[in-house]
Amino acid sequence: MTTDGEPRGRDEWSPTHEVASTGDRADEVAADTRLVAVACEFGDEARLTMSTDDVNDRSPHTQRVLDAELDRLPADASDGANPIWRATLPGDADALVRALTVADPEVDGPLGEARWRVWDVQRIEVRHDGRPIYRSIPHHARFELAAGERPELVERARERLTDLPCAVVPTGPVATWGDGGELTHRTLRFEAGSGASLAHVRRVAVDRDRREIVVDWESVGERVRDEPNRALRTVLRAFAWTADRLGASESPPHRVAFGDGTEFRRAVEGVETVRERVGYDFEVAEV
């Protein structure tokens, strides 16, 4: 049993869909808030986990909603960790969405003074009959839905995100190959390493004679130049300097070779599929 009296098995999380974004943090936060509103149409309870119980200096309207309109769970119901507020649905849906809405104007790049929405909001979860149907972890850019029993949740989610550079896509791999190679809607994972974000791909060259895919990545220097957030620019600049001093590569591997023709064709089709579904602007070219 959990500390709030629920069997642990009921909290198993098996998302069917996730959000893949080609925008910035502000776009992701906007998508998250809209998806919370959509999920509230299908849920009977929501829980908002914060890193602190006081955001008054960063978002006064959020603090007012937390204090006056949502129920804070006792410390023993949240394992004594981060504070949690509960919204009973559908009655508290509007209050929850208002608490999560960024009201401040942008200052110094996306979100500006509203960075609390990424870092102070630890997790949002909307449940139906005790089971999560939507869960987000903003600072990890994870926004996921469990729609196995309610496909209309995905349809409504896609409708709400049509004007944002964000797509609701199936979770899991689109293509796999070799010993651990994997393509998802968000990442390309090479056999010998961890996944690299598709948001940093400039071009994919397909060599059918050699059964190779050659990926042209943005350099860290380009990412530093294009990053609107001053703090992240500093981090990326320090990483690029360290990589240069150590003689390390600042980009993932460029070339993926396939011994199996079927795996190669599936990988190429997968690259084209994720580009179309998510809206990536990288080029796919035959060489």
DSSP 129: T
* 134 and 239, same domain (yes or no): no
Distances (CA, A) of 7 to 14, 118, 130, 209, 235: 16, 30, 10, 55, 42
According to the model, what pLDDT value does residue 194 have?
65
Q: Decide which of 149, 170, 191 is a domain's last residue.
A: 170
**What is the percent of the chain where pLDDT is above 70?**
78
Is pLDDT larger for residue 12 or for residue 27? 27
* 114 and 241, same domain (yes or no): no
Cα-based angle 70, 73, 76 (whole degrees, multiple of 5) = 170
Question: In sequence order, what E strands does 138-221 have?
Answer: 142-145, 166-170, 175-177, 181-183, 187-189, 195-197, 201-207, 212-217
The identity of residue 133, as a single letter, is I
* 73 and 160, same domain (yes or no): yes
* 71 and 153, same domain (yes or no): yes
As a whole number of Å, the end-to-end CA separation of the chain is 58
* 43 and 71, same domain (yes or no): yes
Give the count of domains, the chain.
Answer: 2
Candidate from 11-15, 90-94, 249-253 with smallest mean pLDDT: 249-253
* 107 and 248, same domain (yes or no): no
**Average pLDDT over all residues of the chain:** 85
DSSP 271: H
Structural domain includes residue 68:
yes
- The pLDDT of 128-151, averaged and rounded, is 95
Distance (Å, whole) CA 228 – CA 112: 10
For the beta sheet containing 175-177, the strands, ordered from the edge strand earlier in sequence to the opposite edge, are: 175-177, 181-183, 187-189, 195-197
166 closest CA partner among 34, 14, 40, 13 = 34
Residue 260 is part of which domain span? 175-286
Chain length of the chain: 287
Distance (Å, whole) CA 200 – CA 187: 10
Write out pLDDT tens, residues 220-240.
555 555 555 555 555 445 544
Structural domain includes residue 52:
yes
According to the model, what pLDDT value does residue 251 have?
61
Residues 6+ apart with CB under 8 A from 45: 86, 87, 88, 89, 126, 127
Structural domain includes residue 1:
no
Q: Decide which of 170, 186, 205 is a domain's last residue.
A: 170
Distances (CA, A) of 262 to 116, 196, 266: 47, 23, 6
